[in-house]
Structure formats: C-alpha cells, structure tokens
Structure 1
Amino acid sequence: MRRLGASLLTLGRIRLELLAVEVQEEKERIAGLVLWAVLAALLAGFAVLMLLVLAVVALWDSHPLLALGAASGVLVVAAALAVRRLKALAAQPATLFQASLAELRDDADTLHRRTP
C-alpha cells in the first residue's frame, strides 16, 4: 500500500513538474509580449516628448520658462508613476508551484523511507 502511495506521489510530482515546464514556456511567450509592449510604450513616450517639444517651441516667444517647466513636470510625474508601479510589481515574488513541488518531494521521500 505504501509503495502504491509512493508511486502515486511520484507520478503526481512528475505531472506537476511537467505543468511547471509548460507554465515556464507560457512565461517566455508573455515575456515576448511584454518586450513588444515596452517598445510600444517607448515609442509612445517619444511621441509625447515630441509633442511637448512642439508646445515649447510654439510658446517660446511668449512664455518659454512656463512651457519648459510644464513639459518637464509632465515627464517627471509620468516617470514617477512608472517607477512606483514597477517597484510594486518587482516586490511580488514569483513562486509558481515551488511550494507544492517541494511538499510532494518531501511526501515521496517520507513514503520511500518507510517502505520495508
């Protein structure tokens, strides 16, 4: 009975490891999507920057310091919001299935040791 239990746990562990590999492949696909999203965001950021430069040039004769200050303020606020969100995302650990796999290994090892 213990051998059957140990075999079932080992089989379950193998299945979970396979699932973890599939999840890793999905993470790599998502990383590609993120790369393209970052590129799109960068290009959109450059577009905003060019619009701000256009506004500064248009207002240069009448209010140059106000135009430069407003443009700088927009960029600083956007950067601060992005850094805040990035820190929040980086603080979350990626622990997909690690605890479950470790517990299944411990269970299988315990059953194998007790088997006569």
Structure 2
Amino acid sequence: MTTERPSQQSSPGPLRRILSSTFAIFETRLELLGIELQEEKERLIGVLFLGLAAMMLTMMALITLTVLIAIFFWDTYRWQSLAGITLAYVLVAAFCGLKARNGLRDAPNMFDETLSEFRKDRDTFR
C-alpha cells in the first residue's frame, strides 16, 4: 500500500504576492510617465518649430514695414518716424515678454496624470 501525496505546487507567499503587485503597479506608473514624457516632447518640438517660423516671418515683415515707413517719411519726418517705429517695437516686445513670463509661471504641472495615479495607489494601500 503506497500512499501518494498529491503534488503540491508551492504557491507564493503573501509577502511575495504583495511585492509582485507593488512592482507591477510601479512598472505601470513608469510606463505612464514615459508616455507623458514622449507626448510632451513631441508637443514641445512642434510648438518650437511653429514659434521659430512665426518669429522669422514676423521679423521679415517688420523690417519691410520699417523700410516702407522710412521711405515714405524720408523727406519730412525721417527721424521722428523711425523713433515712433522703434518705440512701437519696444512696447510690443515688452508686452510679449511679460506674456511669456506669465505663461511659464502659470503652466500646469507636466505629470499631473502620473501623480494622480500615484496618489490613488497611496490611498489604496492606506
């Protein structure tokens, strides 16, 4: 009479399962972080390209406008017209600089979704 023992598979202990789940959650969050970084990089490159193109074309237009105004007022108000154009450029540049500074200061956090997922995970384990 032989007694056969049923083959027992060693199931992982509770600590091992918790660690495995924790690492799986952490891996998922890191993947989300990587996706957000990739999206932000692509958006930033697109914005930079369009911004540089707009700046280049605007500079060409402003140079042409300055030359046209200087030619138009060359006989009568030569230096006054150039001073007025310069003052207008300075005012617009100051406005743009302040607007850009406010845009950078008020920018949302880049990893909002990842941080919210980490907060959910933290609240789940409490």
Instruction: Give me the TM-score of the superposition, normalised by structure 2.
Output: 0.65
Q: Given the alignment, which residue of 23, 37, 53 partners 1:24?
A: 37
Higher relative contact order (CA 8 A, sep 6+): 1
Whether contact under 8 Å (1:56, 1:64) holds in the other structure is: yes
Give 1:66's aligned residue.
80
Report the CA distance between 1:9 and its aligned residue: 5.1
3-state DSSP class of the match of 2:37? helix
* C-alpha distance after superposition, 1:44-80 (max 9, x if no partner): 2212232122211221211112211221122112201
Q: Indicate the structure (1 or 2) with the bigger Cα radius of gyration.
A: 2
Measure, in 2, the Cα distance between the counterparts of 1:104 and 1:9: 13
Give 1:84's aligned residue.
98
How many pairs does the alignment contain? 109
Report the CA distance between 1:13 and its aligned residue: 3.4
Show the 5 A alignment for 1:27-66: 27-46=40-59, 47-66=61-80
3-state DSSP class of the match of 2:34? helix
2:111 counterpart of 1:96: yes
Q: Using the aligned pairs only, state the percent identity.
A: 18
- 41-50 vs 98-107, which moves further: 98-107
Report the CA distance between 1:14 and its aligned residue: 2.5
Q: 1:36 to 1:29 in 2, by over 3 A?
A: same
- 95-104 vs 34-43, which moves further: 95-104
Measure, in 2, the Cα distance between the counterparts of 1:5 and 1:81: 55
- Report the RMSD for the aligned CA atoms in angstroms: 3.1
Gap regions ≥5 residues in structure 1: 112-116
